[in-house]
Structure 1
């Protein structure tokens, strides 16, 4: 057995969660996958996977080996990718993670268009609002919105958005309409826990940035969930404009305090430092930068 085959099988089993699904992903039988992993464990002299009839899990040795195995596979793919890039073709696989709502609205479409242009390339798109560990989980790229904590990752801005203060006509009919950011103190606010500080919001007032509290009982980690609660009159919220632009245009929601500017939300692509960026990754990044901004500025699609 080629050792690379064993490493590839081991990583596929971890990512797929079973030998059968790993075999499907690799195009070989689950028995051959099991044989490759067992042979790799024999060569290394350690057990990498705990196997039961119902589940698989990494051993401590397997956890340590996984990160190195991903680096080896990335290097092998890079060698293949360089040769293909010289001939103008992008090959291999990209693993990309993005926030759920933003991914559903934009990244899925952009990824589809990119794969249509590069049919030999495979992209595994994972939508999640949690902060994925690129190195530990084997992702090539993460798309994130807003201010980011200090990180060793390389970041490139691929677009910008803004958060609007919105409420439903029903909510505003029963409460004083807020005309100044400080008035949010007296309202029920639905908070998005994806924000850096869900309980407060910054506004530019008379040339100075002020931070106001957002009191409320409900905090949820989904912009779409916040939108649904606001639509039903549960409160006021700050929601990315691309999520609620159509609701505002159709009158289901009202934008409040538009004259008070808020910090714009950077949409950033993050990836691990590396001596040579794979051509497929750099091409995908350029595709996002070129295509995302026009989509964000386009009129909201019909419902």
Structure 2
């Protein structure tokens, strides 16, 4: 067995969660995948995977080996990509993660457009609202919205959005509409735990960014769940504009506090520092920057 075959099989098993799905991904039988992984373990003299009848899991040694294995495969892919780049053809796989709502509304469509233009490339798109460790989990790019913490990752702004305070007509029929952000203290607020501080919101008041409390009984970790609760009259919600713009236009939700805008939220693409940026990653980022802004209906970002 070529050691590279074993490494590819091992990473495919981890990423797909089973020998059968790894075989389907690699175009070989699950028995051959198992044989490759076992041979790799024999060569290394370590156990990489705990195998039970119900599940697979990485051993401690396997967790360490996985990080190095991804680097090896990335290096091999880059050698192939550089060779093809001279011919103007993009190739290789990109692993990308994005928030669920944003990914379903924009990223999956833009990714499909990108792949139509570059049939030699492949994209593994994972939509999740949890924080993803790019290095440990082998992702090339993470798309994130809002204020980011300190990080060694390379951040590129690809767009902007804003948040709107909204409520349903039914809720407002039973509760007076807030005229000032401080009035939110007297309302039921539906809070999104993806916000930097779920129980507070920031508004521009007399030219200054002021944080106000958001009392409420419901906190969820999904902008779409927040939207659905607002549609059902459960309270006031503060939601990214792109998620609720159509609801506001159709009158299903009413925009509140228009004279007190919330902060602009940067949409950023994060990647690991690396000496050589794969051509497919550069091309994908350029594609997002060109096409995301028109989709969001905002002016293009002026800086990077």
What SS class does the counterpart of residue 125 from structure 1 fall into?
Answer: strand
Partner of 1:9: 9
Deviation at 1:53, TM superposition (A): 2.1
Deviation at 1:54, TM superposition (A): 2.1
Partner of 2:98: 98
- Residues in 1 aligned to 2:22 and 2:202: alpha-carbon distance in whole angstroms: 47
Q: Mind listing any 5+ residue stretches in structure 2 that lack a counterpart?
A: 299-304
Partner of 1:201: 201
What SS class does the counterpart of residue 144 from structure 2 fall into?
Answer: strand
What SS class does the counterpart of residue 258 from structure 2 fall into?
Answer: coil
1:1-303 mapped onto 2 (5 Å cutoff): 1-297=1-297
Deviations 1:17-69 (A, max 9, x none): 11111010001111111111111111111111111222211111111100010
- Residues in 2 aligned to 1:202 and 1:240: alpha-carbon distance in whole angstroms: 13
What SS class does the counterpart of residue 201 from structure 1 fall into?
Answer: strand
Deviation at 1:261, TM superposition (A): 2.0
What SS class does the counterpart of residue 95 from structure 1 fall into?
Answer: strand
What SS class does the counterpart of residue 195 from structure 1 fall into?
Answer: coil
- Residues in 1 aligned to 2:89 and 2:56: alpha-carbon distance in whole angstroms: 37
**Which piece of structure 1 moves more, 95-104 or 254-263?**
254-263
- Residues in 2 aligned to 1:230 and 1:261: alpha-carbon distance in whole angstroms: 19
TM norm structure 2: 0.97
Deviation at 1:206, TM superposition (A): 1.0
Please identify runs of 4+ aligned residues in structure 1 that moved more than 6 A: none
**Which piece of structure 1 moves more, 261-270 or 48-57?**
48-57
The root-mean-square deviation of aligned C-alpha atoms, in Å, is: 0.9
What SS class does the counterpart of residue 32 from structure 2 fall into?
Answer: helix
Deviation at 1:280, TM superposition (A): 0.6
What SS class does the counterpart of residue 46 from structure 1 fall into?
Answer: coil
**Which piece of structure 1 moves more, 173-182 or 99-108?**
173-182
What SS class does the counterpart of residue 189 from structure 2 fall into?
Answer: coil
- Residues in 1 aligned to 2:137 and 2:170: alpha-carbon distance in whole angstroms: 45
- Residues in 2 aligned to 1:55 and 1:205: alpha-carbon distance in whole angstroms: 54
Deviation at 1:91, TM superposition (A): 0.8
What SS class does the counterpart of residue 54 from structure 1 fall into?
Answer: coil
What SS class does the counterpart of residue 111 from structure 2 fall into?
Answer: helix
TM norm structure 1: 0.97
What SS class does the counterpart of residue 82 from structure 1 fall into?
Answer: helix
Partner of 2:301: none
